[in-house]
Amino acid sequence: MVKYATLIVIVALILLSVLTLQFSKDSYKILPIENSDPAKVDLEKYNFQDWKEFAPPSGKFQVMLPTVPQQATENINDSETGETRHYDMYVSERLDGTIFMISLITFETAPSKQEAERLLEDMMNDMVNSNPSNALENKSFGEYQGSPSLDFTITNTDININAKTFMTGKKMVVLTRVAPSSQNDPTEFNFFVNSFELRKQ
């Protein structure tokens, strides 16, 4: 069974690095998600004209984001199968602590449709299990741009996580929005997801 604990650790390290960099800047007073007071956060909701189109130098995809993302890549060998998987992650964070993530996981071989659905569910379960206080709010299998997909929402006392995962060929794509728990309006996440376009290599 494919496990994604390593991916979760990498993402956690990225987020920790982002917060560390922000706290080192005297000109900004940033509140991390777990300590933020939703009543004091000015979201300027749906001000999408300030979002910018982003495409990495590799040209793998294009997407609309509120800030220029940070990137991290890693090649990881699966201890059970010996298969090497390539992880390519992009993290965009707003001043209010809301995070948008694009994760691309490339496998050595393309899974069947049935296997793809299992891999998507494994990813979801690992994200849920990464925190004991996480609760799976909902999940829905479907298709996204002709590929098997899984939409789900995870909540806990501090944050709300919206995610869309889908398989296309040898690649798993995970689109995630992490926001303070009070900010559960899906409009922003839907805009983010609908703006995403995976380009053919």
The answer to whether 136 and 156 are in contact (CB under 8 A) is: no
The rounded distance, in Å, linking the Cα atoms of 110 and 168 is 8
The answer to whether 149 and 142 are in contact (CB under 8 A) is: yes
153, 157, 159, 160 alpha-carbon torsion, rounded to 10°:
20
Global pTM?
Answer: 0.77
Domain count along the chain: 1
Q: What pLDDT was estimated at residue 201?
A: 59
The answer to whether 52 and 68 are in contact (CB under 8 A) is: yes
How do residues 49-98 score in pLDDT, each as one tens digit?
Answer: 889 999 999 899 999 999 999 999 888 887 767 788 899 999 999 888 89
How do residues 164-173 score in pLDDT, each as one tens digit?
Answer: 999 999 999 9
The answer to whether 64 and 191 are in contact (CB under 8 A) is: yes
Q: Which residue range(s) make up the domain with 11?
A: 5-198
Q: What pLDDT was estimated at residue 144?
A: 84
Residue 34 has pLDDT above 60, yes or no: no
How do residues 65-74 score in pLDDT, each as one tens digit?
Answer: 999 999 998 8
The answer to whether 17 and 11 are in contact (CB under 8 A) is: no
**CATH number, residue 166:** 3.40.1000.10
- Tell which wins on pLDDT, 153 or 94: 153
Radius of gyration of the chain (CA): 17
